Amino acid sequence: MRIAVAEDEPDVRDYFRRILPQLGHDVVGVAADGMELVELCRRQLPDLVITDLRMPGMDGDQAMRVVWSERATPCIFISAYSKPVPAENGSNGSGCVSLTKPVSRDELEEAIKQVTSPHSNSESR
């Protein structure tokens, strides 16, 4: 899969940049905030977005609302807070789940399968 990542913490961005190719996916770009994520998604048209919820400026939830208004894209929200549930969580029909940091390789792999399965829609973990 072609995956876009948005995370304001450089070490977490690097983690996803390293782990996703090990799981067989291509990272098509990384963003440090929501505005960068929206532009990245417009340019790269990723198959999946992994985004932090809380970022400076436009947060991940706000950015995904913009992305979803333009194109249905599965999403994995990540947060340092337990059980984040963004408003309109996947309401565009795309699969969507939430994970709590730190995200393990196994959790990430399972979440990717969950949001990209043909039967996923608006599932939250």
Q: pLDDT of 95-124, one tens digit each?
A: 889 999 999 999 999 999 999 886 554 444
Q: Which pLDDT does position 69 carry in this prediction? A: 95
d(CA 96, CA 41): 16
Architecture of domain 2-116: 3-Layer(aba) Sandwich (3.40)
Tell me: cis bond preceding 102? Omega within 30 of 0 counts: yes
Model pTM above 0.85 = yes
Q: Which pLDDT does position 122 carry in this prediction? A: 43
Q: Which pLDDT does position 72 carry in this prediction? A: 92
d(CA 40, CA 70): 13
| 101 to 66, 67, 80: CA distances (angstroms) | 24, 23, 5
Q: pLDDT of 33-70, one tens digit each?
A: 999 999 999 999 999 999 999 998 899 999 999 999 99
